[in-house]
Amino acid sequence: MPRFLILVATLVMSCATPASATDADPLVAAILGETPLIDDLRTLTDEIGGRPDGSDANAAAVEWALERFREAGVTARKEAFRMPMRWLERSASAQVRGDVHFSARVAAMPYSTPTATGGLTVALVDAGKGTPAEIEGLGARAKGAFLLVETPMLEDIPGLFREYMDAAATEARAIEVGVAGVVYVGSRPRNVLYRQIAALGTDNTRPMLVMERSNGMRALRLLRQGKKLELHVEVDLDTGPAYESHNVVAEIPGRELPNEFVVIGAHLDSWGLGTGALDNGCNVALVIDIARQMQRLGLRPRRTIRFALFNGEEHGLHGSWGYVITHADELDDTVMASSYDIGSGRITGFFTGGRAELLDAVERALEPVRGLGPFHNIDIPIVGTDNFDFMMEGVGNLVANQESANYGPNYHAGTDTFDKVDQHQLRLNAAIAAAVTYNFAEMEVDWKRQTRAEIEDLVESTDLGAQMRTFHMFDAWEKGERGRKD
């Protein structure tokens, strides 16, 4: 290009007015074009790998994310928050002994306790599906034993919520009757191991395991034939006291209302059996790419957009909790916080958190990407990802609802790797997320942060309280440790 044309082009670009008030089209177009979205996902998952909070890989992921924002010219920083304890598995093994002997691959559930040197050998008993009646039916045999619990195969997102709910009920009952520990028959296909956090979180006091499905079912059949079995377990952990971890928070300042905020978030940490591609590397890459394309195009919506890569999500939503503590003074002016955390299945709409006033806003925000729908928004509160503490602080929050796709079978599992991500759909999802984020940063807002009384009403008038109990979040709310104060 001749020199003077470059000058003209530069002038035209620098004089160009910002995109019109609700026009996210250039951003959507950029994201649907060629961007480093997939490259980012590949380096995060293949090169850094699984990144449980407290691990070296997790610290590397934090630096990686900072560097991605810096390369894009987007201001970003590390923000410290407190993790309640360090929990990493070094190794876990198990042998079925007694009338029949065989080894079985196991994974320790997060916040499982370790076993003493030499391991632990106790009776293994058939707890059926772990219902209260089945556990009560074991009578004295449950005391001091490992309960072996049959689980249905996990296929989709509703199945995943059932798995968490069933586990919470099973573990509560099992602890009441004094078991040594609980062993779940793996619910993922092809003997894949995975981590599912113990229902009591850091309050858990027993070894809790998942056993590969084939051998778990074999042990159950043997027990049902009247064989006497014991389980020998060795669990070696890397544990420690509370420590400081970091979120990565990037920002594009608003042009008119720089002190009002829209947050788009995904979590950087993962469990370490796979490489955390569906959960949640793909949505980390999505968040970074939206920031990068906005910066590249020089887009400045009215409000400030915060691009939050939360850490410590898997251990109990600690990074997003840390965010609301660090940014307590800004929560009155945070108009919306969104979370993307269900892999790369098609975004079918948003959960609006039991706040009907957000439904119309989401509809308007989706306008530029209507062709990627249909969208169906659902006005219920959702517990299980990083919207939680925003919701309990009364901040308008969205969780992207997505088709289950292959999320369930690979959830927290050794198979959650780069090749499972639907690259095409991830890009379409990024376009949807970009439109929603940009438009919330532009639009007129007619809702406010909820008061404590309104949040209490939400807990009581929906199944929010039940969900909080399932995820061991209710106590912290009741004690006033989490959620908006009076």
- The CB-of-476 to Zn ion minimum distance in angstroms stands at 19
- For Zn ion, the closer of residues 40 and 341 by Cβ is 341
Q: Does 134 bind Zn ion (CB under 5 A)?
A: no
- For Zn ion, the closer of residues 146 and 307 by Cβ is 307
- Distance from C-alpha of 392 to C-alpha of 238, rounded to nearest angstrom: 32
Q: Which of 245, 280, 304, 402 binds Zn ion (CB under 5 A)?
A: 280
- For Zn ion, the closer of residues 181 and 312 by Cβ is 312
314 CB-side CA count, 13 A: 29
Longest dimension (CA), the chain: 89
- For Zn ion, the closer of residues 41 and 138 by Cβ is 41
| Number of neighbouring beta carbons within 10 Å of residue 244 | 9
Contact region with Zn ion (CB under 5 A), list: 68-76, 150-158, 335-343, 434-442: 335-343
Contact region with Zn ion (CB under 5 A), list: 77-85, 333-341, 418-426, 440-448: 333-341
Tokens of 301: 């919506």
- The CB-of-341 to Zn ion minimum distance in angstroms stands at 4
Measured CA angle at 344 (ends 339, 346), to 5 deg: 90
DSSP for residue 94: E
Contact region with Zn ion (CB under 5 A), list: 184-192, 196-204, 227-235, 276-284: 276-284
- Distance from C-alpha of 349 to C-alpha of 354, rounded to nearest angstrom: 14
200: left (phi over 0), alpha (psi -120 to 50) or beta: alpha
Instruction: Give Cα 332 to chain centroid, integer Å.
Output: 25
- For Zn ion, the closer of residues 115 and 280 by Cβ is 280
Q: SS3 sequence, 377-413? A: CECCCCCCCCCHHHHHCCCCEEEEEECCCCCCCCCCE
- The CB-of-466 to Zn ion minimum distance in angstroms stands at 21
Q: Does 196 bind Zn ion (CB under 5 A)?
A: no
Site string for Zn ion, 337-376 (x = CB under 5 A): ----x-----------------------------------
Query: Rg of the chain's alpha carbons, rounded to an integer?
Result: 24
CA nearest neighbour of 184 among 78, 108, 287: 108
- The CB-of-319 to Zn ion minimum distance in angstroms stands at 11
- For Zn ion, the closer of residues 170 and 339 by Cβ is 339
Site string for Zn ion, 165-194 (x = CB under 5 A): ------------------------------
87 CB-side CA count, 13 A: 25
- For Zn ion, the closer of residues 341 and 442 by Cβ is 341
Q: Does 279 bind Zn ion (CB under 5 A)?
A: yes
| Number of neighbouring beta carbons within 10 Å of residue 69 | 23
Residues that bind Zn ion in the complex, under the rule CB under 5 A: 279-280, 341
